[in-house]
Amino acid sequence: MATTPRRWIAHLDMDAFYASVELLRYPELQGQAVVIGGGRRHQPQTLADGTRRFATLRHYTGRGVITTATYAARDLGVHSGMGLMKAAQRAPDALLLPVDFDEYRRYSRLFKAAVAEVTPLIEDRGIDEIYIDLSAVSGVHDPLAHDPFGGVRAVAQEIRNSVRSATGLSCSIGVTPNKLLSKIASELDKPDGLTILTLDDLPTRIWPMPVRRINGIGPKAGAKLIALGVTSIGELAAQPRDWLVEHFGRSYGTWLHEASHGRDERPVVTHSEPVSMSRETTFERDLHPKADRAELTRIFTQLCEQVAADLQRKAYVGRTVGIKLRFEDFRTVTRDLTLDEATANAAVIRRAAGACLKRVDLTLRLRLLGVRAGSLLKAARAQSLTAPRCGAPAANSVPQELELPFGGGTDTALPG
C-alpha cells in the first residue's frame, strides 16, 4: 500500500506559455507550428478581407532565438533557445510571431491570482511557474474510493480548472512530497497533465530518467557524471555518498546523493524581496553607436521606461542604476551608478544609465543592451527613510528633452 506523505508540494508549469497566449490572440493558428521569437517586423498583417498574413521562418534572417514554440513546432525539431536561422532549416514553414512580454506578464498575474484563490502558499518561480504548498488545504489528505490520493488529486484538479477559467490556458502540475520531485513530475505528462508521485514511485518513474532531469544538475556536472559512467538518476542513487563527495566535494556530493533518493526538505517560500529589476534586448543585427544612434537611443529610452514601470507596478525604488552592453565580439561590459536617493522615475533612471554609458568605449557595434535598477527598497519604506521626498516623482516616460541620439546631442548624462 502506498505511503501517504506528510506534506504535498505542487509544481505548476504553464504549457508553452508564450505561445499559448499568442494562440488566444490568433485562434486560427491552433494546432499549427508556431514559433515565438521574432522582432516587430514579424507582426501579422491584416488583409483587406479581414484575414491575417503571418511571417514564416523560411525567409528569416538575423540572430534571433526562439523564446518558445507550440507543441506542433516542437514535433518538427525546434525548441526554445534555438537560433531562428537554424530553426528555419528544420521547419521553414513554421509561423513566426514577435514576443509580447507585457501580455505574458498580464496572463502570469491572472493565473497566479487564480491559484491564490485556492491557497495563498505560493512560491513565485518566474513568469510561468510556481510551487504551491497544498499540505494544509482542506481535504487534501482524504482518500477517496479506489484512490488513496483522491483528496490531493481533487485539489490539484481544482487549481487546474481555476487557471483555465481565469486565463483560457492549460497548465501541467506535478504533486509530490517535495519541490525537487514536483519539478520533475510536472514535466512527465505535458501538456495539460496532472502527475502525483510519492517516494514509492522513485524506482519506476524517476530513477530511469537521465541525471540532467534533476533541477540543479547542470551541463558540467551532468557531463562529469556521464564520464564517470553515471547516466541515469537510478545509477546516481546507487553510488555511495562518500564516492560522490570524493568526486564532487562535500556539499554538492551530499546533495547529489540526497536528490537522487528524492529527498528535499526545502519549504515553499511565499515571499522574497527582489534584488534587482532589469530589462534587456538582443538586436537582430549589430547596431553601431554612431550610425544607428537614433535607433539605439529609442531602445535605450524604452528600456529605462520599462524598468521604471516595473518598479512602480511592484512598489519598489532603486538606489543603483546599471547598464549591460554586449559587443559584436561577444565581450560583455557592465557599469553601475549609485544615486543619492532611490528612485522609480524613468527620467532619473535614464540620466543615471546615460552617465554609465559615458564610462564605456562605444566604438564597436552592439548586439545587446540592458538597463538595471538594483539595491531595491519598498517605495513606502524608502519614503519614510528620506522624507519629505525620495528621488524624483514617479514617471513612466522620459521627458522629450532627454530623447537625444544615442551618444550624441547635448544631454550631459550621455556621452558626447
Q: Which residues are catalytic?
A: 129
Query: What are the φ/ψ torsions at residue 309 (nearest 5 degrees)?
Result: -65, -40
Beta strands in 205-352 (DSSP E): 276-287, 316-327, 332-343
Taking each helix axis as running N to C, give the angle between helix 241-248 and helix 219-227, from 0 to 180 degrees, rounded to the nearest 10.
120
- Using DSSP bridges, classify how beta strands 34-38 and 95-98 pair: parallel, antiparallel or unpaired: parallel
**What is the distance between the alpha carbons of residues 367 and 133, in angstroms, rounded to a whole number?**
42
**What is the distance between the alpha carbons of residues 383 and 387, in angstroms, rounded to a whole number?**
5
* 3-class secondary-structure state, position 190: coil
C-alpha cell recorded at residue 103: 501580455
What distances in angstroms separate CA 35 from CA 41, 43, 91, 120, 307, one per listed residue?
15, 13, 10, 34, 27
Burial class (CB in 10 A: 0-12, 13-18, 19+), 346: buried
**What is the distance between the alpha carbons of residues 316 and 304, in angstroms, rounded to a whole number?**
15
Task: Name 322's bridge partners.
Answer: 336, 372
What distances in angstroms separate CA 154 from CA 14, 107, 158, 194, 245, one per listed residue?
19, 24, 6, 10, 41
**What is the distance between the alpha carbons of residues 327 and 363, in angstroms, rounded to a whole number?**
9
Query: What are the φ/ψ torsions at residue 77 (nearest 5 degrees)?
Result: 95, 15
